[in-house]
Amino acid sequence: MAVPVQAGGAEVVVGRRKREWPLAVILLLPSAVVFGLFVFYPLARTIQLGMYRSDPFGGLGRYVGPSQYWDVLTSESFLRSLGVTLKFAALTVPTGLGLGLGLAVLGHQQLRGIGVYRTIFSSTVATSVAVASLMWLTLLNPSIGLVNQALTKLGHEPIIFLQRPGWALVSVAMATVWQNLGFTFIVISAGLQSVPDELLESARIDGAGPWRRFREVTLPLLSPTLLFAFVVLSINAFQTFGQVDLLTHGGPLHSTELLVYHVFQRTSNDPSTAAAEAVVLFGIVLLLTLVQLRVLERRVHYGD
């Protein structure tokens, strides 16, 4: 008699689902409205806009179809900006991870007053992009900036950090690494705390020195955390805007024109191409986010 019982059970479930529908709609409505209005509708419009060619007077212009996406993907300016963004990611992500890991390992020591250092190391999460950028603008100023004063004291010529093509991107990267450091420090510190003390004590008794303990016990157990931080920093790199706008305006010679800034600049004179670029950027970040979700899933099931 298992079959009818099962069928009955299913009917009960379906019946309950039907009854709960109105409640579900009511509960979902507020967030559906907010997301629809501010995320999905603009997204759909952007995708649509990406298939038109802008007219000079700001109207929708002529429909050209999905081919515009291909044009954007292969355009020189977009590829250049993508290249700058990749270079920026290469400058910020590994350095950020390395410094974050270093600080977290230092902050993990049981020392007197370590709490003060932990607070200092994590403080940049509480700093806005604008404040951080202004601070770096001052620090890197050719005449009054502390960095150049230090360089001059060391007998080095002052460097015009933000106006030299070779230095501008590095400078924006420095500001970004600094800005991200608090987040990286906190995430990796949390990861370090989840490494059981007994494993490290056991390794110590078993004859492993500090370096072997770090490499063979701490690092493997930390790897899910590091992977997570890596993905988040990469997404951050692809979404960077504030630092560029405040420090360099994308210059000199487009050398700091990251994707978001590139799209932003395009929007005023060529909104439809900008829209297509924005959608491509969305695709890239979406891909990174999917990777991140996979990482988080693995993190949950890690270990025993």
Partner 1 sequence: MASVAFEHVTKRFGDVVAVEDLDLHVDDREFLVLLGPSGCGKSTALRMIAGLEEPTEGAIRIGEHRVDGVDPKDRDLAMVFQSYALYPHKSVRQNIEFPLRSRKVPPAERTQLVQDAAGQLGLSTLLDRKPRELSGGQRQRVALARAIVRRPAVFLMDEPLSNLDANMRTATRAELVELHQRLGTTFVYVTHDQVEAMTMATRVAVMSEGSLQQLGVPQEVYDRPANVFVAQFIGSPPMNVVPGPVAAPLGVGRDDVVVGIRPEHLMIGTAGISAIVRVVESLGHERHVLCEADGHRLIVRCPAHGDAPVEGDAVHLSARPEHLHLFDASSGQRVA
Residue of the chain from 97, 101, 162, 203 that contacts partner 1 (CB under 8 A): 203
**Under the criterion CB under 8 A, does residue 220 sit at the interface with partner 1?**
yes
- Residue with Cβ nearer partner 1 (225 or 243): 225
Residue 206 in contact with partner 1, rule: CB under 8 A? yes
* Region of 34-42, 96-104, 166-174, 197-205 interacting with partner 1 (CB under 8 A): 197-205
Name the segment binding partner 1 (CB under 8 A); options: 7-15, 34-42, 72-80, 196-204: 196-204
Nearest to partner 1 of 99, 200 (CB atom)? 200
The answer to whether 207 contacts partner 1 (rule: CB under 8 A) is yes
Using H for helix, E for strand and C for coil, what is the string for the chain?
CHHHHHHHHHHHHHHHHHHHHHHHHHHHHHHHHHHHHHHHHHHHHHHHHCCEECCCCCCCCEECCCHHHHHHHHCHHHHHHHHHHHHHHHHHHHHHHHHHHHHHHHHCCCCCCHHHHHHHHHHHHHCCHHHHHHHHHHHCCCCCCHHHHHHHHCCCCCCCCCCCHHHHHHHHHHHHHHHHHHHHHHHHHHHHHCCCHHHHHHHHHCCCCHHHHHHHHHHHHHHHHHHHHHHHHHHHHHCCCHHHHHHCCCCCCCCCCCHHHHHHHHHHHCHHHHHHHHHHHHHHHHHHHHHHHHHHHHHHCCCC
- CB within 8 A of 133, min separation 6: which ones? 175, 242, 243, 246, 247
Minimum CB separation of residue 96 from partner 1 in Å reads: 25
Piece of the chain touching partner 1 by CB under 8 A; list 11-19, 70-78, 176-184, 209-217: 209-217
In this structure, are residues 103 and 181 in contact, taking their beta carbons and an 8 Å threshold? Answer: yes
We find the least distance from the C-beta atom of residue 220 to partner 1, in angstroms, to be: 4
According to the binding rule CB under 8 A, does residue 303 interact with partner 1? yes
Query: Does position 202 bind partner 1 by CB under 8 A?
Result: yes
Residue 237: name the closest of 159, 186, 184 by CA. 184
For partner 1, which stretch binds (CB under 8 A), given 81-89, 194-202, 233-241, 247-255?
Answer: 194-202
| 156 vs 212, beta carbon nearer partner 1 | 212
Q: Decide if residue 198 touches partner 1 (CB under 8 A).
A: yes
Helix axes 271-300, 67-74, angle to 10 degrees: 80
**Which residue in 227, 293, 132, 167 sits closest to 219, CA to CA?**
227
**Residue 221 binding partner 1, by CB under 8 A:** yes
Least distance CB 113 / partner 1 (angstroms): 16
The answer to the question of residue 279 lying near partner 1 (CB under 8 A) is no
Q: Does 205 bind partner 1 (CB under 8 A)?
A: yes
Of the residues 20, 55, 71, 201, which one makes contact with partner 1 according to CB under 8 A: 201
Query: Does the protein bind partner 1 through residue 194 (CB under 8 A)?
Result: no
227 forms part of the interface with partner 1 (CB under 8 A): no
Q: Which stretch binds partner 1 (CB under 8 A): 2-10, 93-101, 127-135, 214-222?
A: 214-222
Among 108, 204, 254, 299, binds partner 1 (CB under 8 A): 204
What are the tokens at 168? 């501008």
The site for partner 1 (CB under 8 A) is made up of 196, 198-199, 201-209, 212, 216-217, 220-221, 302-304
